[in-house]
Amino acid sequence: MNRKSRVMAALVAGVILCALIGWMRSRGTPGNASRLEDEPAPSQPVSGDVSNAKQTDSLHAKRLFELRRDLLAATDPAARRARFLQFREQLHQDGFTAADWLAFLDSGEDAPTGEAFSVGPGGNLRESPTLRVFALDVLGQIAPESAAKVGLRLLTEAPAPDEWAIALRNVARVQGVDDELRGHVLEGLANTEWALAPSVGYLEGFDAAVFSASPPMIPALSRLTTMEYPAATRFAATLALQRSASQSFPALASSIASDPILAANPELRADLFARADLREPDQRVWVATHLSNAATSDAEAEALIRALPNENQRLSNNLLTETQISPLQDLLGEQLQTLAVLQQWSQDPALAARGPSFDAAVQRLQNVTAQAIPAFQRP
């Protein structure tokens, strides 16, 4: 695949994800709620107002409870969003402290903001669907240690899916990757209710599976690629598998090779194997072993060889990981090394059955590199 094709593939993937998320929002997916009470009708009294801030003397904490009251009392989504935006725009001028946000989070109360769940640069949220998600996001920025402690507590208390995603981010920023974090990621991926009616925040939380990539993540994600789940969940799980394979192939290769769901989806498994970096000896061994395995069908082997080297990426803001864009000269170097490996494999008796696929791939890479090399030789 030439550079133009790779860029187009990345753009198409991004457009598809945006379309899926937009479709979910237009349908009012049940999972978009974050453990909220039913919104009261305008004539109903709103419970849990400013008096709930009695645990702190801070006027700023009381303002958060006033904001909650106003959001719940708003007569329509536009009015609710306008009230929240007014608060958000003034936030940087006010002296809110970690204690203020903790007081609100400890109350267990919440309200919808009228916003979506949208990740911005650095993993911080551009938009937050609920006041609790907003509080968790802000706390994670101004008091990471406190946010991690709150996040761990939430993760043991069956949080709403959007809170699960932000709690994972807050914990991972402080603790990094450990068995505790991986356990909470796996718990969320195994939540069938969330997966069948996914919120945008839940799907964004799959980035934590990429961040904490390990063999158990492969079956947890592959399960979500089956037709049992809606398109948005399948797409997010597939993308997480692809990104995990690109970033952590050596640690995941055995699980990818042995996973029964991936075995039943040879096109996807071929895509994952093609993300191996053939410049690395251990990764070359994994790919060669898979190609020489009699259980690997001709169709899968052809798809794998045709995709090598699979450099496709999706450019996006993620909660935890950053997309690393390889310089064009590095991409050319990988293509040249892949070409050399494929030429060697085409002469290997153990891989003789894959000969026609090797020939086609060698021809393709020879054409691509022949066009690219002169561009790098120009003064």
Q: Is residue 111 part of a domain?
A: yes
Percent of the chain residues past pLDDT 70, beyond the cut: 84
CA distance 369 to 379: 18
Could you list the residue range(s) of the whole structural domain that residue 86 is in?
Answer: 33-38+47-212
Q: How far apart are the first and last CA of the chain?
A: 26
Contact by Cβ (8 Å): 252, 229 = no
CA distance 177 to 148: 13
CA distance 203 to 50: 34
SS3 316: coil
Sequential DSSP letters for 99-153: HHHHHHHHHT---B-S---EE-GGG-EEE-SBHHHHHHHHHHHH-HHHHHHHHHH
CA distance 261 to 251: 19
Q: Is residue 200 part of a domain?
A: yes
pLDDT tens per residue across span 73-105: 998 999 999 999 999 988 877 788 999 999 999
Q: Is residue 308 part of a domain?
A: no
Over 80: is that where the pLDDT of 360 sits? yes
The residue whose two tokens read 């021809």 is 363
| Burial class (CB within 10 angstroms; exposed 0-12, middle 13-18, buried 19+) of 269 | buried
Non-local CB neighbours of 104 within 8 Å, separated by 6+ positions: 53, 61, 64, 65, 68, 131, 132, 135
The residue whose two tokens read 């959001």 is 71
Contact by Cβ (8 Å): 357, 346 = no
pLDDT value, residue 32: 36
CA distance 283 to 289: 10
Distances (CA, A) of 86 to 8, 130, 335: 39, 15, 52
Over 50: is that where the pLDDT of 7 sits? no
Q: What angle do CA 121, 34, 145 make, to 5 degrees?
A: 55
Q: Is residue 20 part of a domain?
A: no
pLDDT value, residue 379: 55
Domain count across the chain = 1
pTM of the model: 0.84
- With the C-alpha atoms ordered 352, 358, 359, 360, is the resulting torsion angle positive or negative? positive
Whether the link from the prior residue into 77 is cis, omega within 30° of 0, is no
pLDDT tens per residue across span 297-333: 999 999 999 999 998 878 899 999 998 787 888 889 9
Q: 376 pLDDT band (50/70/90 cuts)?
A: low
The first and second tokens of residue 196, run together, are: 């069948």
CA distance 203 to 240: 10
Over 50: is that where the pLDDT of 161 sits? yes
Q: What angle do CA 200, 205, 209 make, to 5 degrees?
A: 145
Q: Is residue 124 part of a domain?
A: yes
pLDDT tens per residue across span 14-70: 444 444 444 344 433 333 333 333 333 332 333 333 334 444 557 888 999 999 999
Non-local CB neighbours of 228 within 8 Å, separated by 6+ positions: none
Non-local CB neighbours of 340 within 8 Å, separated by 6+ positions: none
Q: Is residue 145 part of a domain?
A: yes
Q: Is residue 288 part of a domain?
A: no
Q: Is residue 221 part of a domain?
A: no
Average pLDDT, the chain: 86
Using the CB atoms, write b or e for 18-53: b if 16+ within 10 Å.
Answer: eebbeebeeeebebbbbebeebeeeeeeeebbeebb
